[in-house]
Amino acid sequence: MVQYKRVLLKLSGESLMGDKQYGIDEKRLGDYARQIKEIAEMGVQVGIVIGGGNIFRGLSGAAKGYDRVKGDQMGMLATVINSQALSSALSAIGQENQVYTAIRMEPIGEYYTKWKAIETLETGGVAIISGGTGNPFFTTDTASVLRAVEIEADVFFKGTRVDGIYTADPEKDRSATKFDEISFDEIYSRNLKIMDMTATTMCKENKMPLVVFDMDTIGNLKKVILGENIGTRVYPDADAK
């Protein structure tokens, strides 16, 4: 049984690379599109935010001498490119969708407002929201939580290449163990780097549940929607379970 009516799914730009070192892997993009269509056909309203790290990262650009504001703006444009790619992949398999941009850039995408995005969701379309917050110095994770709160999502899904939240980075520490459930307070106390502090705080303060799961395994998105025990569920506080 479907556990959520409306979700905001955040995808990392790096995940779109698949096995490539840069850019977009068409197979990975197609896999994502089919999984998204599958849950949309189950009656789930799906909003999506995609990062741009497969093309450009503002913060790493600043470290190389780029102006931070311009670097972040380049990163915002990278999210628009990824969003257009996902939009095309969804359209190719018959899933209605609309790309929204945080900064005006018609006809590439429609200028984002909460009400337009919700209208798309309520009529069966997937709302792909790009351009971050439209401002520099904010991560795509923060933009994702912001959009989740704005569109009144039931949950914020963070699709990653790791199957949940661990006591340490499992790619670096083999002794790391996975949490099935955890509160935001415990994330703070353990200093776990799931998202940046702004995004994490916004989730907690707005009582937005978070699920971190492996999006690269086909079928996992449907499993999370059905409430199966995969990934890690994060609750606004220890008593919210």
Q: What is the pLDDT of residues 218-235, one digit of tens each?
A: 999 999 999 999 999 999
Rounded CA separation 210/182 (Å):
10
Overall average pLDDT of the 29-45 stretch? 98
Q: Which band of pLDDT confidence, cut at 50, 70 and 90, is reported for residue 63?
A: low
Which residue, 116, 106, 138, is CA-closest to 47? 116
- Computed over every residue of the chain, the mean pLDDT equals 94
Overall average pLDDT of the 31-41 stretch? 98
Per the structure block, which two tokens stand in for 131?
């351009």
Q: Which band of pLDDT confidence, cut at 50, 70 and 90, is reported for residue 236?
A: confident
The answer to whether residue 61 scores a pLDDT higher than 70 is: no
pLDDT score at 237 = 72
36-to-11, 32, 192, 199, 220 alpha-carbon distances in Å: 11, 6, 28, 23, 11
Q: Where are the domains of the chain?
A: 6-235
Which residue, 138, 173, 175, 143, is CA-closest to 156? 143
What are φ and ψ of residue 46, in 5° steps?
-120, 120
pLDDT score at 62 = 59
Look up tokens 């995408």; give the residue.
109
What are φ and ψ of residue 98, in 5° steps?
-145, 130
Q: What is the pLDDT of residues 153-187, one digit of tens each?
A: 999 999 998 899 999 888 889 899 999 999 999 99
The answer to whether residue 48 scores a pLDDT higher than 80 is: yes
Q: Does domain 6-235 have CATH number 1.10.1280.10?
A: no
Q: Which band of pLDDT confidence, cut at 50, 70 and 90, is reported for residue 210?
A: very high
Question: What region, left, alpha or beta, does residue 199 occupy, with left being phi > 0 and alpha being psi -120 to 50 degrees?
Answer: alpha
pLDDT score at 58 = 59
What are φ and ψ of residue 49, in 5° steps?
-125, 130
pTM: 0.93
Rounded CA separation 201/144 (Å):
13
Rounded CA separation 116/150 (Å):
11
Q: What is the pLDDT of residues 180-203, one digit of tens each?
A: 999 999 999 999 989 999 999 999
pLDDT score at 59 = 62
Look up tokens 């790391």; give the residue.
176
The answer to whether residue 17 scores a pLDDT higher than 90 is: yes
Residue count (the chain): 241
The answer to whether residue 60 scores a pLDDT higher than 90 is: no
Q: What is the pLDDT of residues 72-103, one digit of tens each?
A: 999 999 999 999 999 999 999 999 999 999 99
Q: Which band of pLDDT confidence, cut at 50, 70 and 90, is reported for residue 146?
A: very high
Residue partners of 92: CB distance under 8 A and separation at least 6? 33
